[in-house]
Chain A
């Protein structure tokens, strides 16, 4: 019999691994900032690109996945009940397999045999065991996701005619999105990278691999964002003592995210040959379709914020709800600051995906600024906000005023660090500074000198922002350890789920999974069939694998 205790333990394991990855990845990030500013040089046994690979994989892929799995597992437990034996076995073995994959890939990076960055573009050729590690990671996530998805559909079958719990519904969309997205990266890893690195084939089609990678790479960002939105929809209204404005629209927005997250990967390949202008533009249009569910989310979340209980005075004023919000509660504060960061984050994204403007920013530090102000802040800060109540919930402890004060300090440091670093990266990118490049002055070329000398945006400022963020990580780890092991015990800590305002009966098409998965598949086929066919038809000569580090 699988009990709540089993799920809690598994969830705690994921949280622990998530924060361990954040600690390691954050340390590497600090070093990168310092190297790039010319403040330090790395010892000969450690290369900039080695730690950059580790930083990217640990923070973008590994810590996020562990955190999301911990959150979804705990939330499903709170809304659907305990896992069945099969579901628990899937989740447990999924965790083991994906962790084995992470350890294998990380070992290869530490040995210096996989300095290929977190995009591992062919024909850079890492040790085959690095790719085997990646494949195990993906397979592990599939097993884990299968367990939770099965839990959802089993509940649905056992409760015919009932609306499924919102949290579990949104979590299921998130997991389906992950599975469909990871098919792309699994294809290039299994059929191109592993055969090449073991020497079974002599060459690979690089453009095909990149297209498969970006079919995965863009929906990956929605895999980070959707759990973030889940916290905004299902938890935040409860924290402020209000109600979710619309349950139905939350579900509808998630389904639109699912549908529009895949047929868009080519907007990462706008400066590449091998893809026709017309198809590049078509995927750019589809990319911007996510504006619609994003606007729906913004409306729904802000309308929920307005439902905060107010005093008579606050009710009279149009913006009285702002003063009524619990600004002193870090569980809320971190989340709302996360939301505000998403405004410049989203605008930067519009620039990146704009067909012709992309050439101005492609592969510059602007892009780095963009993903630090999106995944690094709206997502990470929301994950921190979740941790403040999820850890006490899982460990049976209390969230104390001390933790709250430390959390507020953490939020301030993180926001300040991110403002400085991300601002600098955006500005340096517009001045042409390249991303993913070790310290260099380009033979003192004046155009490169500007990146060191401009007073309001330079590499030193970027490193200062990075150092603040690192301080934020250290403080966060202190809070996590305190909440996990030292805070006073209490059995009262719950998973704070909000109720929704009554917005009428839910239309049946929202739970018609066959319909939505079919639309998703059709859009993928429309967007990708011809570009992939073209790439195969060009029959570009294959490239041999190379180790260039």
Chain B
């Protein structure tokens, strides 16, 4: 198969850029810990209310960090308002009692899916105080546009 000289240059340039790009992604992902949300813990959607920690969702200050447990259901979050500290890593653990939802804090990198049967998790450190809107950005039914909560970050 014959490749034109210019095409060789074009493809070499493209493939080299691609390798550099993927290397940057890999470095920030695995050396700097910028990985997407995830988790493999499972929980039955029907017994979410009985199983710790989701039987008592809310904010738990552990000293150096904060754990937050949130339960999504049509068309609300429990709890629907939380207060969080500034500058401390916050670990969010979320799950759903019914269909798929999302837990998305606007203007942050916290944006994850709530999949029935699983617990999802992400970590974020708030650097700016104020009121943050949390919304569901995965269609969940007739009242999907009403599904929201609020995070108040205090210094």
Question: Size class of B's contact patch?
Answer: 35 or more
Contact indicator A248/B38 (Cβ below 8 Å): no
The docked-state distance in angstroms from the alpha carbon of A443 to that of B1 is 62
Contact indicator B109/A359 (Cβ below 8 Å): yes
Contact indicator A543/B137 (Cβ below 8 Å): no
Of A124, A276, A437, which contacts B38 at CB under 8 A?
A: A276
The docked-state distance in angstroms from the alpha carbon of A457 to that of B25 is 29
Contact indicator A543/B117 (Cβ below 8 Å): yes
Contact indicator A447/B10 (Cβ below 8 Å): no
Question: Size class of A's contact patch?
Answer: 35 or more
Give 1 or 0 for each of B119-130: 1 = CB within 8 Å of chain A CB.
Answer: 111100000000
Of A277, A299, A436, A546, which contacts B36 at CB under 8 A?
A: A277
Of A273, A440, A543, which contacts B145 at CB under 8 A?
A: A440
Closest chain B residue to A284, Cβ basis? B25
The docked-state distance in angstroms from the alpha carbon of A280 to that of B113 is 15
Q: Which residues of A contact B148 (CB under 8 A)?
A: 442-443, 445
Q: Which residues of B contact A249 (CB under 8 A)?
A: 1, 3, 7
Interface residue? B133 (CB, 8 A): yes
Interface 9-mer from A72-80, A128-136, A287-295: A287-295
Contact indicator B120/A272 (Cβ below 8 Å): yes
Interface residue? B141 (CB, 8 A): yes
Interface centre among B15, B36, B148 (most CB of A within 10 A): B36
Contact indicator A546/B1 (Cβ below 8 Å): no
Q: List residues 427-482 of chain A with CB under 8 A from any CB of chain B.
A: 432, 434-440, 442-443, 445-448
Closest chain B residue to A432, Cβ basis? B106
Contact indicator A356/B36 (Cβ below 8 Å): yes
The docked-state distance in angstroms from the alpha carbon of A124 to that of B101 is 11
Of A299, A438, A541, which contacts B43 at CB under 8 A?
A: A541
Contact indicator A206/B116 (Cβ below 8 Å): yes
Q: Which residues of A contact B76 (CB under 8 A)?
A: none
Interface residue? A354 (CB, 8 A): yes
Q: List residues 34-55 of chain B with CB under 8 A from any CB of chain A.
A: 34-46
Contact indicator A448/B133 (Cβ below 8 Å): yes
Q: Which residues of A contact B28 (CB under 8 A)?
A: 356
Contact indicator A47/B142 (Cβ below 8 Å): yes
**9 A-B contacts, Cβ less than 8 Å apart?**
A207-B118, A249-B1, A274-B115, A281-B25, A285-B22, A362-B137, A541-B46, A544-B46, A546-B99
